[in-house]
Structure 1
């Protein structure tokens, strides 16, 4: 990959207000260097406050946000990106995604606007989120900017092998949201058995599995002690046999309803 995205990232979907700020500050001071937010999360201002408060140099933080589906008309991409930067308190983000290819998304209109935002210096990189291979191909043909990352729901029950392989082939990092299955990793017997062997939690084993996948970066959410626990999963090194066992539990099961997620983040 030409640009390395820090692993893991800290996801902020569902985090609001002061709690969001406190969680992001805690994450940054614990050692996370990648923070993921979005216009739809309605917490960019709280993330911006955390960036200002945390005792971490802004230049050391990889910051990503996403243009909401309803803001993907070309003029809205430009206007709302400027508003996102104001809320975040930054001159530029490291990565700006198209959040979902729905609603106001029109490839020939929306994607040149993403290029324009990059040309203005408001984002260093362009990303896509919740695309399939067909739409990724189309977007890459239209964009002048390289696609740095593609963010999708991805976890041991939905392993997204086709999209991960496509990303590897085209130097696109797959950024995995819901990497611990919305906290349901402890429901899986295989993850629990492997966790016991490592004196770890099933959530940590799910993250360790992500970490060993080439071209994949996980962005778990967390609060309280889970912030540090998720980060500590980097130290777990599952064996090849354990990885193969986790590979075998793919259910192709989505936990996020795409229709609902477009409106609810």
Structure 2
């Protein structure tokens, strides 16, 4: 599995997302993904499945160092002491001694960003976390985090797919040498039914979802974490790595609407700031 090197970690470019997989049903799904060869598992305290993910990791028999494990702190727990408690709870639920990548899941309007980053860098120093990152920040927030505060951000996780332009964000991240991790890379299932992607898929003898993932994976500094509960879909997503798009395909994708954001809760930041 190709990996992106950033802040002392190697991030497999194709990971496995676990959003909306709460409870015990998640364990068998993650076990299947690990059996197929996924080595980058993405969870969060808000997903309410860290125990199931941890159980799947334990059942896999894989050595801890063979896995990249990401989890995230919810935006209501960004005060330093709450942040420390949240990390402790995640470590306990996952049954691990350290997290490879610990991320701020969403920014909070009243957070003290400097205090948040100071606390997270403390986790780096005590070895409970190997790298830190943020999710769903706008460019202004990211610039403050990196340039003013000087936090060693390993990656930024945001919604990114064929229907949403993230060129401004990508340009900034590439300037700083920071990978973008695409969540909802299949536009919450919409990519599979898009006629343009289906036409490209027929040409290559693959699926529309594989085309959407291949488009992301061919971009410099981009990783993806598609979610798939069915084993066949998990395997299909892995096989997207072998799909090679041509210039006609890229041109067809380029003219798709690029203003569709499907994840924007009430507490989201101003995206264009």
TM class, shorter-chain normalised? over 0.9
Instruction: Specify the SS of the correspondent of 2:71.
Output: strand
Shift of 1:142: 5.0
* Correspondence 1:99-110 to 2 at 5 A: 99-102=105-108, 105-110=111-116
Unaligned runs of 5+ in 2: none
Give, in whole Å, the separation in 2 of the partners of 1:95 and 1:181. 24
Partner of 2:252: 245
Pairing 1:65-144 to 2, within 5 Å after superposition? 65-102=71-108, 105-144=111-150
Match of 2:205 in 1: 199
Q: 1:39 to 1:220 in 2, by over 3 A?
A: same
The superposition leaves residues 137-181 of structure 1 with CA deviations (integer Å, 9 ceiling, x where unpaired) of: 111135454111100010000131111121111111100000001
| CA distance in structure 2 between the partners assigned to 1:156 and 1:98 by the alignment | 25
Partner of 2:240: 233
Q: Structure 1-normalised TM-score? A: 0.94
| Alignment partner of 1:154 out of 145, 154, 160 | 160
Tell me if 1:62 matches 2:68. yes
CA RMSD of aligned residues (A): 1.6
CA deviation map 1:208-237 (0-9, x unaligned): 111101111010000112111111111111
**CA distance in 2 between partners of 1:236 and 1:245 (Å):** 16
1:10-21 pair list within 5 angstroms: 10-21=16-27
Q: What is the aligned partner in structure 2 of residue 46 from structure 1?
A: 52
**By how many angstroms is 1:256 displaced?**
1.2
CA change 1:114–1:25 in 2 (3 A) is same
Deviations 1:27-72 (A, max 9, x none): 1110111000001111111110011011422211110000110110
Return the alpha-carbon distance in structure 1 between the equivalents of residues 251 and 39 of structure 2.
29
- Structure 1 residues not aligned, in runs of 5+: none
Equivalents in 2 of 1:52, 1:101: separation in Å?
Answer: 32
Contact 1:107 1:142 in 2 (8 A): no
Residues 108 and 267 in structure 2, CA contact (< 8 A), matched pair in contact too: no
Q: Residue in 1 aligned with 2:220?
A: 214
What is the Cα deviation at residue 260 of structure 1? 7.0
Contact 1:36–1:63 (Cα < 8 Å) also in 2: yes
CA contact (8 A) 2:24 2:49 kept: no
Residues 190-215 of structure 1, C-alpha deviations (whole Å, 9 max, x = no match): 11110111111111110011110111
Provide the residue aligned with 1:37 in structure 2: 43
Distance 1:62 1:143 in 2: 26
